[in-house]
Structure 1
Amino acid sequence: MTTLGALGGDAAAKAVTDAVAEAVAALRPAAGRDWSTVRAGRVEWDCRRTAQHVVSDLFAYATQLATRAPDAYRPVEYTLDPPDADAPTALEAIEAGGVMLALACRTAPRAARGFHPYPFRGAGREGFAAMGVAEVLLHTHDMAEGLGIAYRPSAELCGYVLARLFPHVRQGDDPWRTLLWATGRGTLPGEAPVTRWHWYNTPLIEAERLTLEALSVPAVADLALGGDGGHHWVPGGPFEGTREGAGMVASAYDKGALRPEWGSYVLLRREDDRALGSMGFHGPPDEEGRVEVGYDLAVAARGQGYATEALRALSAWALDQEGVRVVTARVEAANTPSRRVLERAAFRPVGHLEEPGGVLVLERRAD
């Protein structure tokens, strides 16, 4: 797996700062030109309008995160002043927007989220950082192409964006080329051109006392290597099953076969943002609309109803997705506590597998 960088607010802030610094350095040699007369590559805007867009996004993302905007964009518009600002002024504004977003990422708590419309109605500090970096990288490419100047951001920044916003895309040997292809700006050998695209932010599923937060690609990579995935765990966590599940997700990502909403979710206790365990899917639904779920809870969190609560929420969410008819689970016949968790979450026994010790199969169907 390509190096994905550190987790946390400081790492997110550094990614934003580095992206802006590289972009401004690349564009500054063309600062003496009139950007309003130059089209920004394949974009239908001129370069000044494109710079304005970058400025607006950086400030807007900082505002959404810093104010924890719950369900809409804040009623604030960010523009260049004056509207016909020259290129040096536009670059100064991009630098200022980068500072503000980096500051918001560095100071926001790990659990802080703000509204963003697509696709899961919100993002945290690493999501907003990655979106900001993506806007800077991609639109600097557009402007540089129009202005006829060289620009190639660092592989680390490209990998940062791909890992956090394009987990369904295999990075390959050249993350920059992959990012350009994934956003309709380039080609990849053996791949069809991309004409429609979108990015992913981390999905959340709310339960009574818990938030189930999909583990990002950098988080599963860290967990699989023995780290904490960027979370504060209760004593004894993360448990071995969590690391094994993270390894499965990391492997799917390396193969370009990951669908992030059908990966692994960390169970977070909302009262203190402590991670209790993980729960997730063994892959996306099959052709029959069947998806399998598994879970793991730290010993210190057991016996308090957390697993049942999370399983109810996750399986209900899955059955609400288009084409999903059945959620299944397997449990060793002798594992009575785990079987009871499943049964309390409306799963019913439907058979068994001929494996050592015996394995029961349970399922929950759509009503």
Structure 2
Amino acid sequence: MENIENIETARLLLRPMTEETATRVVRRAPAADDRWAPGYPTDGDVESATDFLGHCARTGDPQPFGDYEVVRRADDLVIGSLGFNRPPDDEGTVTVGYGLVEAARGHGYAAEALRALLDLARRRGITCVRGDADHDNVASQRVMTAAGMRFTGEDARVKYYETAWAGALRS
């Protein structure tokens, strides 16, 4: 497995999920040194960590295209998670998801974290990042727009967003 470093932003630390941390999230059982914000993990965090563990069991750790814990640097609390739903497909496309505990919403953290994840994807040669949000999840739609993703369409259930790069960098 490649050693994946934390991703730092102005206010956040995106810490790569490991099988050990994902297992604790799924069990909702923090270790003594875990600093989880009240409400973490959410049901969405548990679902994402479960998917991550499934990828690890089937094909090995997908990092850097796995999950990340979102840590607020001001108090070192894990306030949510975000990441890639699965490794890139043959065309270099990935899908992202994210979520924060209730108290951390509305402060721009999700857009800040998503911008960092989009930058990672671009630097790793990804050509397209996609996301979606339910029609009534206007906050998530705003997060994707604020992070630089553009609206590309909708169906009866969700609105779709994406960011694409021509000739993405390889590192």
TM-score > 0.5, shorter chain as reference: yes
The structure carrying a bigger strand percent of its residues is 2
Residue pairs, 1:1-367, within 5 angstroms:
199-228=1-30, 231-322=34-125, 324-354=126-156, 358-366=157-165
> Following the alignment from structure 2 to structure 1, what is the Cα–Cα distance between the partners of residues 5 and 62?
11
> Following the alignment from structure 2 to structure 1, what is the Cα–Cα distance between the partners of residues 42 and 62?
24
Per the TM alignment, residue 219 of structure 1 is displaced from its structure 2 partner at its CA by 0.6
> Following the alignment from structure 2 to structure 1, what is the Cα–Cα distance between the partners of residues 4 and 103?
26
State percent identity of aligned pairs: 35
> Following the alignment from structure 1 to structure 2, what is the Cα–Cα distance between the partners of residues 362 and 227?
34
Per the TM alignment, residue 255 of structure 1 is displaced from its structure 2 partner at its CA by 1.5
Q: Across the two proteins, how many residue pairs are aligned to each other?
A: 165
**Letter of the structure 1 residue corresponding to residue 133 of structure 2:** V
Per the TM alignment, residue 257 of structure 1 is displaced from its structure 2 partner at its CA by 4.2
Secondary structure in 2 matching 1:292: strand
**Letter of the structure 1 residue corresponding to residue 95 of structure 2:** E
Alignment check: 8 A CA contact 2:28 2:41 kept: no
The structure carrying a bigger helix percent of its residues is 1
Unaligned runs of 5+ in 1: 1-198
- Residue deviations 1:88-134, cap 9 Å, x none? xxxxxxxxxxxxxxxxxxxxxxxxxxxxxxxxxxxxxxxxxxxxxxx
> Following the alignment from structure 1 to structure 2, what is the Cα–Cα distance between the partners of residues 285 and 262?
7
Q: Which runs of 4+ in 1 moved over 2 A?
A: 199-203, 228-231
Alignment check: 8 A CA contact 2:4 2:16 kept: yes
Per the TM alignment, residue 240 of structure 1 is displaced from its structure 2 partner at its CA by 1.1
> Following the alignment from structure 2 to structure 1, what is the Cα–Cα distance between the partners of residues 59 and 127?
25
- Residue deviations 1:215-254, cap 9 Å, x none? 1111111211222366311121111111110000111111
**Letter of the structure 1 residue corresponding to residue 75 of structure 2:** D
Unaligned runs of 5+ in 2: 167-171
> Following the alignment from structure 1 to structure 2, what is the Cα–Cα distance between the partners of residues 202 and 233?
22
> Following the alignment from structure 1 to structure 2, what is the Cα–Cα distance between the partners of residues 210 and 296?
14
> Following the alignment from structure 2 to structure 1, what is the Cα–Cα distance between the partners of residues 30 and 94?
27
> Following the alignment from structure 1 to structure 2, what is the Cα–Cα distance between the partners of residues 364 and 251?
27
> Following the alignment from structure 2 to structure 1, what is the Cα–Cα distance between the partners of residues 64 and 111?
20
**Letter of the structure 1 residue corresponding to residue 122 of structure 2:** L
> Following the alignment from structure 1 to structure 2, what is the Cα–Cα distance between the partners of residues 293 and 240?
17
Alignment check: 8 A CA contact 1:236 1:298 kept: yes
Query: Could you state the TM-score of these two structures normalised by the residue count of structure 1?
Result: 0.43
**Letter of the structure 1 residue corresponding to residue 129 of structure 2:** V
> Following the alignment from structure 2 to structure 1, what is the Cα–Cα distance between the partners of residues 143 and 84?
17
Per the TM alignment, residue 206 of structure 1 is displaced from its structure 2 partner at its CA by 1.3
> Following the alignment from structure 2 to structure 1, what is the Cα–Cα distance between the partners of residues 38 and 162?
31
